[in-house]
Amino acid sequence: MTVPRFWREIPQRYNLQASKCGACDAIHYPPRTVCPECRRASIGNLEEVKLSGRGTVLESTRVHKAAPGYEAQVPYTLALIQTEEGPVITGQVVDHDGRAVSAGDDVRAVFRRLGEDGDAGVIYYGTKWVLA
Amino acid sequence: MTGRTAYVVGAAHTPFGEAWDKSYRHLMTDAGLAAIQDAGVQGEDIDEVFVGTMSTGKLVGQEHVASLLLDGAGLADQHLPATRIEAAGASGGLAFRQGVQAIRSGAADVVVVGGLEKMTDVSDADQAAVTASGIDQEWEHFFGATDAALHALIAKRHMARYGTTREQLAAVAVKNHAHGARNPLAQFRRPITEETVLRAPPVAEPLGMFDCAPTSDGAACVVLCSDAVVDSYGGKAVQVSGSGQASDTLSLSDRADLTSWRATEHAARRAYQEAGVSVADVDVAEVHDAYTITELLAVEDLGFVKKGEGGPATVEGRTGDGGDVVVNPSGGLKARGHPVGATGIAQVCELTWHLRGTASDRQVKDARIGVAHNTGGTGATAVVHVLEGVQ
Ligand SMILES: [Zn+2]
């Protein structure tokens, strides 16, 4: 099964739903079922939290050979985003109109169409980032 | 190390590149028969078989390949245990380690380990999907990441942190193409210039086409045996004196430090410790240069140079011909080619030839200790082996 076909069953992917460990307060995205620091002590002790969608660019690259489904967007900017809550997220920085994206730039999350499944024609959505 | 020791007694790989006239099973049979012949083993001597391959299902529509390949070699009637191993780019290295462990445990005296991939005669989309299946599908690839893009992020971080330059990255490709020019089995056998690398079409900045290993067809095979039977296989044995494997987060985003691959560090530490060698003893190494930046990470994380000095060391020739440690005399993944599952086994083949002193005009002089380093994805799996010549 390809990723697009099961995206709807994973709301965390498009609404930045993270997990918070009740033992150490660490926040993880994507959400975890076990905290890697507390392990056993965290089981059954994780709560859902929503990330603010604010972060900064940790590092970025201009992608010229696209991931499948992204061909029409090249060149596009892919970045590691350091969220203000702690987790680092991989995603596209869009709508920067030729302005260079640099490490340290402030960004915020936006909800966007990511593409569609070639066979089933199902449109799927997720998080992208814009300069704040 | 106590207990039983594993030796490589046979090694062979097919020419890497485009092999459109050969089917998947023919490639493996070619390499397998050549390795068995090199070792001088008979079919009935073999106790167990492992094969490393990443993506036969996606690329040729076939899973369940271990039995199929054994059958192709005419050995189905031996009813041997045959197992396929997968760990993206590290599939071959992990299969080799399984063979070593089967011998060390006493379960087997003679083991054949193959690795292969047939990648060039499928669509670009299928190739891209396979390369990307070694990174996190749900949380990286789905959001637009490619394997090359993640390596580009690592390269930019390395440049920002250590002052590594674009030209230093290019020097890795120039060196490995120069090495590949002397390897008759390499996919690319022509030297290139820095200008060629810098002017190549961009893939993910700062990496261009010549910073990336090609897609390739090819198969490689080695024969391993135990100390109990090694004397009956002549004087060509190379000892496997250390074996280490380690893992890390699949997603690059979960790493505290992008510029070191902890899995490589841990695998290397375990392998050196087992072999009782120090890094200064290493004469020759085959490392996983899927991208130019990954060779810099490898030579640093394996301890050949100080952290951050991979770029200058490459430019100064410390990892080239006549250097402190000759890195990728085969041409590496970059020039020998990268039929994914075959790569980890081809590395062992290359080291075996150098440690036997039979690597012809690319022979590393007086090579006594070699290191093979094979990784998957952005370093979520790493496997390191120490091999020593037996004289
Ligand atoms: Zn915790």
Task: Express each pLDDT in B346-356 by its tens digit.
Answer: 999 999 999 99
Q: Do B139 and A30 touch (CB under 8 A)?
A: yes
- Determine the residue of chain B that is closest to A76 in CA distance: B144
Any B CB within 8 A of A122 CB: no
Q: What does the DSSP assignment read for B220-246? A: EEEEEEETTTGGGGTT--EEEEEEEEE
CATH superfamily of the domain spanning B6-124+216-238: Thiolase/Chalcone synthase (3.40.47.10)
Q: Do B145 and A59 touch (CB under 8 A)?
A: no
Are residues A64 and B128, on separate chains, in Cβ contact within 8 Å?
no
Find, in chain B, the residue whose alpha carbon is nearest to that of A68. Answer: B125
Closest B-chain CA to A60 = B153
Distance B296 CA to ligand 1 centre (A): 34
Contact B389, B383 (CB under 8 A): no
Cross-chain residue pair A90–B139, CB shorter than 8 Å: yes
Q: How far does the centroid of ligand 1 lie from the alpha carbon of residue A21, in Å? A: 5
Backbone φ, ψ for residue A15 (5° rounding) = -125, 20
Between A18-32, A106-120, B110-124, B215-229, the lowest mean confidence (pLDDT) is in A106-120
In this predicted structure, what is the pLDDT of residue B356? 97
Please state the rounded mean pLDDT for residues B158-184.
98
Residues of A in contact with B148 (CB under 8 A): 63, 65
DSSP at B94: H
Of B72, B66, B77, whose CA–CA distance to B113 is shortest? Answer: B66
- Based on the number of CB atoms within 10 Å of its own CB, is B274 exposed (0-12), middle (13-18) or buried (19 or more)? middle
Q: What is the mean pLDDT of chain B?
A: 96
Burial of B137 (0-12, 13-18, 19+ CB in 10 A): middle
| Residue of A33 and B3 predicted with greater confidence | A33
How far is it, in rounded angstroms, from Cα B277 to Cα B240? 12
Domain B6-124+216-238 matches domain B146-214+241-389 at the CATH topology level: yes
Question: Is the whole-model pTM more than 0.95?
Answer: yes
Predicted complex ipTM = 0.95
Q: What share of residues in chain B are helix, strand, coil (percent, to 5)?
A: 40, 20, 40
Residues of B whose CB is below 8 A from A70:
144
Cα–Cα distance, B267 to B303 (Å, whole number): 12
CB proximity list for B72: less than 8 A, separation 6 or greater? B25, B26, B28, B29, B32
- The residues pairing with A76 across neighbouring beta strands, listed in sequence order, are A63
Instruction: Indicate if the pLDDT at residue B286 is higher than 80.
Output: yes
Q: What is the pLDDT of residue A5?
A: 53
Instruction: Tell me whether the omega of the peptide bond preceding residue B206 falls within 30 degrees of 0, making it cis.
Output: yes
Domain locations in chain B as residue ranges: 6-124+216-238, 146-214+241-389
Residue B384, SS3 per DSSP: strand
Binding-site residues on chain B for chain A (CB distance < 8 A): 125, 128-129, 132, 137-146, 148-150, 152-153, 156-157, 160, 201-206, 251-254, 258
Tell me if A62 and B204 make a contact (CB, 8 A cut-off): yes
In chain B, pLDDT over 70 holds for what percent of residues? 99
As separate numbers, helices (DSSP H) first and strands (DSSP E) second, chain B gives: 13, 12
Partners of A87 on chain B (C-beta within 8 Å) are 253
Judging contacts by C-beta atoms under 8 Å, the chain B residues touching residue A89 are 253
CB pairs under 8 A between A and B: 97
For chain A, which domains are there?
A: 52-131 (2.40.50.840)
Contact between B385 and B267 under an 8 Å Cβ cutoff? The reply is: no
B87 secondary structure, DSSP code: B
Pair A75, A62: CB distance under 8 Å: yes
Instruction: Identify the pLDDT of residue B170.
Output: 98
**Which pLDDT value is given to residue A45?**
94
Question: What CATH code is assigned to B146-214+241-389?
Answer: 3.40.47.10
Helices (H) and strands (E) in chain A, counts: 2, 8
Q: How confident is the model at residue A92 (pLDDT cuts 50, 70, 90)?
A: very high
Which span out of A55-59, A64-68, B134-138 was modeled with the highest average pLDDT?
A: A55-59
The pLDDT value given to residue B2? 57
Confidence of residue A67 (pLDDT cuts 50, 70, 90): confident
